[in-house]
Amino acid sequence: MKKTVHLQPIISKTLLKTYQSGRIGSAYLFAGPRGSGKEGIAAEFASLLNCEQPNAKGRCEKCSSCIRSNILQHENIKFVVPIPTPTKDKTSKDPLKGLKTEELNYFTESLQKKAKDPFFKIRVPRATRILLISVQELRKILYLKTLNKGRKVVLIFDAHLLSAGQGESANALLKILEEPPKNTTLILVTDHKPELLPTILSRCQHVDFPPITTRVIANELTSRNIESERAEFIAGLAEGDMHRALALSNQSMNDIHDLIKYLAGVVQSNDGKTWRKFVNDYSKMARFKPEKFNFHFYLLQLWFRSTYRLCNGIADDLHTNDLSQMMTKLSEKFPNADLTKIDMRIEHLLLSGGKNLFMPLALTNLLIEIQNNLNGKNYVRN
């Protein structure tokens, strides 16, 4: 796995000192905003805990343990992520054996992609929570005696989804945290810390991640062969989120401008046919391509924020000729628009996207709310 320690130097230095002191905890919570490098640094820390020849700067990256860690195939490092409810071989205690063939293949391919890019997000289709069977299988593995050298490390990505449903998975994990196995460390990683049980929070050492700085994002993008001027522009738009920066870097500025124009045009329209197509297309996208869905609505949110800044004489990276003209037209067409409320409505949708919303209804409500806010009307959500 590509090293990510340079993205969060203060946190990485703290974790290295923890390792060198020998006072390694049994449970950590890596929490912070999306795209702040939590998963990559969690995997890097797990690799360090199993390195055979560590040095003053961290792991050696050359020993057999580091080589296996780099491809996310180390026997001591286990990954727990949300997966769909098993539909076949339901009697198996191995949660992966219950997945459909295409789901299992997706998971395997995702690990391979994660090994190459720490910012690749593992999202198995239809997965909305961390299953109880995953935690039960984990408990069995952790308490087994093995002859493996090193330290057992469990990386639980999207850990807030332990609490989804009735919270059985969270309660099962709590039992492990209450009686942690020897020579074992669990690292819970989440963008949504408040959604975890207080009892779980109290048993973890907290490592809070800030957004990645604009300068660090720009440097990371240039290291990926992106021209410096474009890298700086993208870093400014990303607002500390490396996921967004990479998504922006994979598209031309013309494509991004065209997408923003389309989205802004749809939400300003009150044409029923246009709305039906929009709701249908984006409901499917939310289900099958959630990262793309989030990216599109982030751009829409960014455009409304930029419009607000234009109306208030505040400079913004999106104030280019074609987009600023659209912003001026919107402010003239809707002089009483409450752009701050529109920003909040889109933010609510983005935060609620993974919580089993009926997306066609959620998107229809969003369009109605935006129309009301553009016309200066208050809309009360049921």
1 has pLDDT over 70:
no
Instruction: Please indicate, yes or no, whether residues 169 and 292 belong to a single structural domain of this protein.
Output: no
The model's pLDDT over 333-367, given as tens digits with 9 standing for 90+, comes to: 999 999 999 999 999 888 776 555 689 999 999 99
Question: With 70 as the cut, is the pLDDT of residue 275 above it?
Answer: yes
In this structure, the answer to whether residues 195 and 256 fall within a common structural domain is: no
Same domain for 166 and 313, yes or no, is no
Residue 236, in any domain of the structure: no
pLDDT score of 306 more than 80 = yes
- Asked, for residue 142, whether it belongs to a domain, the answer is yes
End of a domain among 208, 240, 269? 208
Which pLDDT belongs to residue 24? 96
Contact 275, 266 (CB under 8 A): yes
Q: Identify which of 234, 289, 4 has the alpha carbon closest to the alpha carbon of residue 118.
A: 4
Shared domain for 180 and 265, answered yes or no, is no
- What residues make up the domain containing 342? 251-374
Number of structural domains (the chain) is 2
Single pTM value for the model: 0.83
Whichever domain contains 108, its CATH number is: 3.40.50.300
Task: Evaluate whether residue 44 is within a structural domain.
Answer: yes
Band of residue 237 on the pLDDT scale cut at 50, 70, 90 = confident
* Long-range contacts of 315-322, Cβ-Cβ distance < 8 Å, separation of 24 or more: 317/233, 317/236, 317/237, 318/237, 318/260, 320/257, 322/257, 322/261
Q: 135 and 193, same structural domain?
A: yes
On average, the pLDDT of the chain sits at: 89
Do 123 and 35 belong together in one domain?
yes
Tell me: do 187 and 298 sit in the same domain.
Answer: no
pLDDT tens sequence across 83-103 = 988 876 555 667 888 788 888
Residue 239 lies in a domain: no
Q: Are residues 34 and 156 in the same domain?
A: yes
Same domain, 83 and 142: yes
Same domain, 302 and 195: no
Q: Assess if residue 340 is contained within a domain.
A: yes
- Tell whether 168 and 89 lie within a shared domain: yes
